[in-house]
């Protein structure tokens, strides 16, 4: 591919999203930095400035997830500004943890809307661009929760398990157009959603990890960078686990 590859990263302003953006910028990608709201836009603009030393173009783009109209407008903006889209990283995520018997219907639906439905809508839009190019990379950020099941996360685990199924289906449907679709399944990563845990909860999670430590956002970002690169040309429909040995299928 040419040096002017373009990637869209959803949830770019979080710690994991930003780490992914840094690795892709270092690999020579121009980036569309998805964000939401005024505060999100400020963070995306700051991130674009921080990435500027890599010499690419870094464009903040806004959309509420899973608003189909706004998602469509976001992809239209990317196509208009860059002329192409080589990679989509569905990184945006949400959790609303609670025991299943106490979980509200609203919390269940909201987590599936952001983690699954929004990813589906973004994949649809990306696929339309990539199919015309006869090239593309789609990476979905899943979770060990979707592979293992996690206490108090019926909504989150269900959304990530479904995202893995969506990944495999899309990989089969899009392979003929040379579009690969893979998932990265982080384990216990010291970022975003895990930082709200108590010290006792963190220690309990880490005690289950054979490598004896939490992962970093960069650990996940390096896996994403590999899968969007040329060395992963023959890899599709796979789940790359970045979990320190927490789950060994």
Q: What is the pLDDT of residues 62-91, one digit of tens each?
A: 999 999 999 999 999 999 999 999 999 999
Kindly give, in sequence order, each residue whose CB lies less than 8 Å from that of residue 132, ignoring residues fewer than 6 positions away: none
Question: Are residues 15 and 193 in contact, defined by beta-carbon separation less than 8 angstroms?
Answer: no
What lies within 8 Å, CB to CB, of 225 at 6+ separation is: 20, 23, 24, 26, 27
Q: What is the Cα–Cα distance from 82 to 2, expressed in whole angstroms?
A: 13
DSSP 236: -
Task: Determine if the peptide bond prior to 66 is cis (ω within 30°).
Answer: yes
| 22, 54, 58, 156: the active-site residue | 156
Helix (H, G, I), strand (E, B) or coil at 17: helix
Q: Is 54 labeled as catalytic in the residue annotation? A: no
pLDDT tens digits, one per residue of 2-45: 458 999 999 999 999 999 999 999 999 999 999 999 999 999 99
Q: What CATH topology corresponds to 6-240?
A: Rossmann fold (3.40.50)
User: pLDDT tens digit string along 123-172?
Assistant: 999 999 999 999 999 999 999 999 999 899 999 999 999 999 999 999 99
Domain ranges of the chain: 6-240
The residues, any chain, with a CB within 8 Å of residue 141's CB and separated by 6 or more, are 16, 89, 90, 91, 93, 183, 184, 186, 220, 224
Tokens standing for residue 94 = 């949400």
């Amino acid at each position: 591919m040419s040096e002017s590859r373009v990637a869209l990263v959803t949830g770019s302003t979080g710690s994991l999203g930003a780490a992914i953006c840094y690795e892709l910028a270092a690999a020579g990608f121009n980036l569309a930095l998805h964000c939401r709201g005024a505060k999100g836009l400020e963070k995306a603009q700051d991130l674009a400035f921080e990435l500027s030393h890599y010499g690419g173009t870094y464009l903040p783009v806004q959309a509420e997830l899973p608003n189909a109209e706004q998602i469509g407008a976001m992809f239209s903006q990317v196509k208009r500004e860059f002329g192409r889209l080589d990679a989509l990283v569905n990184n945006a995520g949400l959790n609303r943890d609670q025991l299943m018997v106490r979980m509200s219907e609203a919390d269940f639906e909201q987590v599936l809307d952001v983690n699954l439905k929004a990813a589906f809508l973004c994949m649809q839009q990306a696929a339309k661009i990539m199919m015309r190019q006869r090239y593309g990379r789609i990476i979905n950020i899943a979770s060990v929760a979707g592979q293992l099941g996690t206490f108090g996360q019926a909504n989150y685990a269900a959304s990530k398990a479904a995202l893995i199924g969506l990944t495999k289906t899309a990989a089969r449907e899009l392979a003929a157009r040379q579009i690969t679709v893979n998932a990265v399944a982080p384990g216990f990563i010291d970022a975003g959603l895990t930082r709200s845990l108590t010290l006792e909860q963190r220690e309990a999670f880490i005690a289950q990890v054979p490598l004896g430590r939490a992962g970093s956002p960069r650990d996940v970002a390096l896996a994403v960078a590999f899968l969007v690169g040329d060395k992963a040309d023959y890899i599709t429909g796979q789940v790359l686990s970045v979990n320190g040995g927490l789950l060994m299928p």
